[in-house]
Structure 1
Amino acid sequence: LIRGSWFTGFPWGAGGYAQVELLAAWAPWVGVYGMGLLAAVLAYVLASVVNGILRTIGRWVLAPVSRLNKAKPRAGGHALRSITASGVVISVMALVVLSTLFFSMGQGFERWRKLALQSTSDAGAMRVWLLQGNIAQDEKFEPGTGMAQALEWYPAQFADALRTAASGADTAPQLVVAPETALPLLPQQLNADFWRPLLQGLAQQSETSAVSVLMGLPLGSFSRGYTNSSWGITPQSAAMALGGLQGGQLPAEWESTGGATEGTFRYDKHHLVPFGEFIPPFFRWFIDMMNIPLGDFSRGGLGQPAWTVAGQRISPNICYEDLFGEELAVSFRDPRLAPTVLVNLSNIAWFGDTVAIDQHLHISRLRAMELGRPMLRATNTGATAVIDHLGQVTHELPRLTRGRLEASVQGRSGLTPFARWASRWGLWPLWGGCLAAVLLVIAGRHLARRRSSAP
């Protein structure tokens, strides 16, 4: 809990993630930290039970010897009473452990999870394409290699989506998602000839087969600052932006606003990566000493409004923002405006073909469980996947390949218990529980000392 909160927080590898299967029914109630606490309590109780059993066996074995060595026969009775009391305590603790485990793994699992999800319901289906460019990190920002590939492949996928929709095919998407910094340049750094085909294609669609696009790219300007963002374009906002194109020139406001046009959806990353996206306080000297070419990104607001597409309220998060369930929960304060689908745009090509890909997928699964929402993942190298509201991966692309994932996702409305309390109080209830536990331990030890020192 401390590691996930202090100094901007880095909760990667929290203990609750190891229980994503065994204690999954608890996720919509207490979240990942509560699951970690349950696992720790169960481990402690189990260890105490085993230790108590071993001590009891030892007492039974040594009791006859103790009676032979003592002159008073009452000593054996005292030992027997001690054994009996220990046995009762051990039996109760064992019953608690076994019943909790069986409850989490058996029929009680579904009942407990259904109880948590009883206030949620289906909110309709949406067809999506999730793009995975698989552009090597050491080439991503190189003009002759990675940039050229991105500026060719992603627009080609957008165009293919528009053609598929125009043909009336059942596989036509309603939303196409490109990953974090899929376009590695600012909008105003790309000329009108780049944007015109996409904007025209989006603007000229029929209402019955409309496609919208959500893409990751940097936004901003020198005067306003830069953000790591996702940009959403609907047919309506495309038509408005298209009207601003004059010949081969971009709209003048793009230069000052960094590409933000009226009607266009914009999400700016809120939880920035220390040293990667911002310089922590008091560390500018280190950056200057090491001569690291690093500037600060501007931070987006917490709980930014959702984007309505095809009857769904879409809430993006970027990169490791999906580690912070309490921050995603802020968007659920008003159930009427709460997102029905979560979307994670990531680029973890920095880590190559490592366990980081699996871990990040694991993390997204738990966010889906906590909030009772499907999670779409569009990534550069993996894992690009669709996760349902129960945390199950329903579709996934092979990692480290270039392709698109075509799927249908079922939106959800309503609030889980976790979404309800975390949206209002964040992690404070857990901090309060930890403080209460510490105080109880201190009080227990104090009482034990007083009893041992009493005459």
Structure 2
Amino acid sequence: MSGAARFLPPLAAALLGAAGVLAFAPFGWFALGWLVPAGLFALLRRAGSGRGGAGLGFAFGCGWFGVGTSWVYVSLSVFGGLPPVLAGIATALFCAVLALFPALAGYAFARWRRGGFVADALFFAALWTLGEWLRSWLFTGFPWLVLGYSQAPPSPLAGYAPIVGVYGLSLLAALLGAAIAEVLRRWFVVPCADARTRLFCPALPLLSIGAVLAGGDLLGDLRWTAPVGAPVKVALLQGNVPQDLKWRPEKLNESLVIYDRLLREHPATLSVLPETAIPAFLGELPPPYLERLLEHALAQQGDLLFGVPVGDGERYANAAASIGVSPTQLYSKSHLVPFGEFVPPGFQWFLDLMRIPMSNFTPGPDRQAPLAIAGQQVAVNICYEDVFGSEIIRALPQATLLVNLSNTAWFGDSLAQPQHLQIAQLRALETGRPMLRATNTGMTAIVGADGRVQAALPPFTRDALVAEVSGYAGTTPFVRWGNVPAVAAALLLLLAGGRRRPE
């Protein structure tokens, strides 16, 4: 291959990566979660060397993350205060670093694949899954746009989620992609010479596709958990306070008034306010306001859960506090966001360029008991924490409800909000628990234990989502084993599909 033709495969890979974002919310074309890996699988099988495979993987990753996490630019430029050029450079570098993971997988596939369809399919799916899993914890982790999230309901693969979790769904989706690529290859690229048997050439990959989809559909009818106790009336408050005004001291009273009014207009046994809904340290709030919040909760014989920083100017935590008929309790966010909530070593200069208030939080303990409020055992997680399924299950099986407090106003009207809601769908599926989301600007929602969104507020509106919600008890296989089965399966497939020795 020479000339301009050399750039066609990387260009095709980049376009595939960009198109893959359509598999995720808000588009929800989940079948693209199989077709896009099919295209990458076909391209990688034609790569002539490990270097070529790495280039294809990198190009794919640039398209995947460049489109799918474009909201990072909004955060850095619009709300972080970086000049547009610097924000663009920082976003491009961020996406390029993330693209190194598919580049590594592409290199390994092209360098050590065996060459037969079955071995190649297993090797490809294993490398895809392990690359995503590695990305979920290396350098504190960034498991956004994991392929398995695209397989939230109504995808037939969603039935596997309570067993193998989101990385298991990635493994299955990648396997489906490889099988689809092989079906198309056998039908159109190297069809059987005998036209009478042409339909039977792709029998093995077709049977594999049918078996995986049918299995997911059957498993989707299983219920691993069941409602427990009486339903509780909940009110999830969405204050829609503009991010550029929220942290101004002179606007504090405005935020307090907004949530006071929403509480009065939407009484409930369990009221939930978003992450840092009250933009001041808990100890600095006017006592009369705290007393008023307590009165709201006591009037309903219930509890109020609200996001608020706790500590002082030197050491402070991103927390959720409860007040009401139950004893006052506190949850402190343990998995912090690099650059947004803590300063990685050597990067203070970068934070100095931005205008992010309270950007050096102290993490809470890794394991914190559920909050006993409103007659439920509530596993609280704050914003970004719900992308780490293996951490969410630390509070299970004791917890009956999952509650997420978020403030995605940092990302404006972008893909971040619907993508984050889709992540919550997988957490509900994995745990067999409803997920309640109270957010500042969206998407405030109730996700059922089956992973389906039962109700949601329109983003960028000021309102409350009120509903009756039941807690759930029981243990899914994922709660018991976490990501171990999916990662172990990927490692076994890696051994089964790759060459023992490099060429």
TM-score (normalised: structure 2): 0.68
Contact 2:224 2:432 in 1 (8 A): no
Contact 1:120 1:415 in 2 (8 A): no
Aligned counterparts of 2:303 and 2:261: Cα–Cα separation in 1: 15
1:436 — aligned with what? Answer: 492
Change (3 A) 1:142 1:311: same
Aligned counterparts of 2:353 and 2:371: Cα–Cα separation in 1: 43
Change (3 A) 1:413 1:319: same
2:441 — aligned with what? Answer: 381
Change (3 A) 1:289 1:10: same
Are 1:191 and 2:282 matched, yes or no? Answer: no
| One-letter code aligned to 1:131 | L
Cα deviation 1:195-253 (Å, max 9, x = unaligned)? 233335545x4xxx402100001011246x100010011225xxxxxxxxxxxxxxxxx
Contact 1:28 1:418 in 2 (8 A): yes
What are the residue-to-residue correspondences of 1:108-119 with 2, within 5 Å?
109=217, 111-115=218-222, 117-119=223-225
The alpha-carbon deviation at position 281 of structure 1 amounts to 3.0
Describe the SS at the equivalent of 2:455: strand
Aligned counterparts of 2:275 and 2:431: Cα–Cα separation in 1: 23
Are 1:391 and 2:451 matched, yes or no? Answer: yes
Are 1:16 and 2:148 matched, yes or no? Answer: yes
Are 1:215 and 2:279 matched, yes or no? Answer: no
Describe the SS at the equivalent of 1:139: helix
Contact 1:180 1:319 in 2 (8 A): yes
1:134 — aligned with what? Answer: 240
Are 1:265 and 2:329 matched, yes or no? Answer: yes
Describe the SS at the equivalent of 2:244: coil
Aligned counterparts of 1:284 and 1:114: Cα–Cα separation in 2: 51
Q: Which moved more, 1:294-303 or 1:15-24?
A: 294-303
Aligned counterparts of 2:194 and 2:201: Cα–Cα separation in 1: 16
Contact 1:56 1:87 in 2 (8 A): no
What are the residue-to-residue correspondences of 1:76-87 with 2, within 5 Å?
none
Aligned counterparts of 1:300 and 1:50: Cα–Cα separation in 2: 51
Describe the SS at the equivalent of 1:57: coil
1:235 — aligned with what? Answer: 325
2:381 — aligned with what? Answer: 317
Contact 2:164 2:485 in 1 (8 A): no
| One-letter code aligned to 1:387 | V
Contact 1:303 1:328 in 2 (8 A): no
1:152 — aligned with what? Answer: 257
Change (3 A) 1:134 1:327: same
Change (3 A) 1:156 1:119: closer
What are the residue-to-residue correspondences of 1:36-51 with 2, within 5 Å?
36-51=170-185
Aligned counterparts of 1:120 and 1:292: Cα–Cα separation in 2: 42
Identity %: 40
Aligned counterparts of 2:354 and 2:295: Cα–Cα separation in 1: 47
Are 1:347 and 2:454 matched, yes or no? Answer: no
Aligned counterparts of 1:361 and 1:281: Cα–Cα separation in 2: 31
Contact 1:132 1:382 in 2 (8 A): yes
Are 1:417 and 2:477 matched, yes or no? Answer: yes
Aligned counterparts of 1:28 and 1:291: Cα–Cα separation in 2: 41
The alpha-carbon deviation at position 191 of structure 1 amounts to 2.4
Aligned counterparts of 1:32 and 1:386: Cα–Cα separation in 2: 20
| One-letter code aligned to 2:324 | T
Cα deviation 1:55-85 (Å, max 9, x = unaligned)? 6635337xxxxxxxxxxxxxxxxxxxxx98x
Q: CA RMSD in A?
A: 2.6
Aligned counterparts of 1:150 and 1:290: Cα–Cα separation in 2: 23
1:250 — aligned with what? Answer: none
| One-letter code aligned to 1:149 | E
Are 1:330 and 2:400 matched, yes or no? Answer: no
Change (3 A) 1:430 1:102: closer
Cα deviation 1:296-340 (Å, max 9, x = unaligned)? 2110112311112232111111111111111101112xx3xx211
Aligned counterparts of 1:197 and 1:293: Cα–Cα separation in 2: 27
| One-letter code aligned to 1:139 | L
Aligned counterparts of 1:120 and 1:196: Cα–Cα separation in 2: 37
- Total equivalences in the alignment: 369
Aligned counterparts of 2:296 and 2:269: Cα–Cα separation in 1: 14
Q: Which moved more, 1:148-157 or 1:227-236?
A: 148-157
The alpha-carbon deviation at position 121 of structure 1 amounts to 4.3
Contact 1:28 1:113 in 2 (8 A): no
The alpha-carbon deviation at position 418 of structure 1 amounts to 0.9
The alpha-carbon deviation at position 428 of structure 1 amounts to 4.0
| Unaligned stretches of 5+ residues in structure 1 | 62-82, 162-171, 237-262, 450-455
| One-letter code aligned to 1:353 | D
